[in-house]
Amino acid sequence: MSGSTAQDNPNQPSRTPSFSWDRARAQLTDLGKGRINLAYEALDRHMDGPTADRTALRFLTRDSLVAEAISYRALNDRANRFANVLATLGVRPGERVYGLSQRIPDLYAAFFGAIKHGCVFTPLFPAFGPEPIRQRVEIGEPAVLVTTERLYRRKVADWVQGVPCLREVLLIGGVDEAPPGTRDAGTLMDEVSPDYATRPMDAGAPVLLHFTSGTTGTPKGALHVHEAVITHHVTGQYALDLRPGDVYWCTADPGWVTGTSYGMIAPLTNGTTLVVDEAEFDAERWYRILQDQAVSVWYTAPTAIRMLMRQGPELARAHDLSALRFLASVGEPLNPEAVHWGREVIGLPFHDNWWQTETGGIMIANRPDLAIRPGSMGQPIPGIEAAVARQGEDGIELIEEPDQTGELVLKKGWPSMFRGYLHQEERYRKCFDDDWYLTGDLARRDADGYFWFIGRTDDVIKSAGHLIGPFEVESALLEHPAVAEAGVIGVPDEVAGETVKAFVTLKPGHTADKALQKSLLGLARQRLGPAVAPRQIEFRDELPRTRSGKIMRRLLRARELGLPEGDLSTLEGGSNE
Cα–Cα distance measured from residue 277 to residue 139, given in angstroms and rounded to the nearest whole number? 30
Cα–Cα distance measured from residue 524 to residue 497, given in angstroms and rounded to the nearest whole number? 20
Is 452 inside any structural domain?
no
Q: Is the pTM of this model over 0.85?
A: no
- Amino acid 40 reads Y
Chain centroid offset of residue 188 CA: 32
Domain shared by 62 and 122, yes or no: yes
Residue 546's pLDDT is what? 72
Domain end, chosen from 410, 445, 480, is at 445
- Amino acid 156 reads V
Q: Which domain holds residue 479?
A: 461-570
> Residues 126, 132: contact at Cβ < 8 Å?
no
Domain shared by 265 and 406, yes or no: yes
Is 533 inside any structural domain?
yes
Q: How many residues does the chain have?
A: 577
Domain shared by 485 and 355, yes or no: no
Domain shared by 413 and 473, yes or no: no
Is 430 inside any structural domain?
no
Which CATH number is 323's domain given? 3.40.50.12780
Domain shared by 78 and 142, yes or no: yes
Domain shared by 44 and 177, yes or no: yes
Q: How many domains does the chain have?
A: 2
Strands laid side by side in the 247-250 sheet = 68-71, 55-60, 273-277, 247-250, 297-300, 326-329, 350-354, 364-365, 379-380
Is 23 inside any structural domain?
no
Is 21 inside any structural domain?
no
Domain shared by 216 and 288, yes or no: yes
Residue 495's pLDDT is what? 67
Determine the longest span between alpha carbons in the chain, in angstroms: 73
Which helix or strand (DSSP H or E) is residue 138 part of? Answer: helix 130-140
With CA atoms as reference, report the closest residue to 444 among 434, 436, 429, 455.
455
> Residues 438, 431: contact at Cβ < 8 Å?
yes
Residue 547's pLDDT is what? 62
Q: What 3-state DSSP class applies to 204? A: coil
Is 126 inside any structural domain?
yes
Domain shared by 348 and 489, yes or no: no
Which CATH number is 471's domain given? 3.30.300.30
Domain shared by 299 and 389, yes or no: yes
End-to-end, the C-alpha distance of the chain in Å comes to 29
Q: At what angle do helices 72-88 and 105-116 cross, to 10 degrees?
A: 60
Q: What 3-state DSSP class applies to 376? A: coil
Q: Give ∠ CA 205-235-402 in degrees, rounded to 5.
A: 110
Domain end, chosen from 382, 410, 445, is at 445
Domain shared by 167 and 223, yes or no: yes
Chain centroid offset of residue 435 CA: 25
Is 455 inside any structural domain?
no
> Residues 234, 24: contact at Cβ < 8 Å?
yes
Q: Phi and psi at residue 504, in whole multiples of 5°?
A: -130, 135
Domain shared by 225 and 325, yes or no: yes
Cα–Cα distance measured from residue 385 to residue 292, given in angstroms and rounded to the nearest whole number? 40
Domain shared by 493 and 557, yes or no: yes
With CA atoms as reference, report the closest residue to 447 among 501, 373, 349, 504.
373
577 residues of the chain, pLDDT tens digit each: 443 344 444 455 444 468 999 999 999 999 999 999 999 999 999 999 999 999 999 999 999 999 999 999 999 999 999 999 999 999 999 999 999 999 999 999 999 999 999 999 999 999 888 888 988 999 999 999 999 999 999 999 999 988 999 999 999 999 999 999 999 999 999 999 999 999 999 999 999 999 986 444 578 999 999 999 999 999 999 999 999 999 999 999 999 899 999 999 999 999 999 999 999 999 999 999 999 999 999 999 988 998 899 899 999 999 999 999 999 999 878 889 999 999 999 999 999 999 999 999 999 999 999 999 999 999 999 999 999 999 888 899 999 999 999 999 999 999 999 999 999 999 999 999 999 999 999 899 999 999 999 877 767 776 765 667 787 788 889 989 999 999 998 888 776 778 899 999 999 999 999 999 999 999 988 878 777 889 999 999 999 887 666 788 878 888 887 766 543 333 333 344 4
Is 217 inside any structural domain?
yes
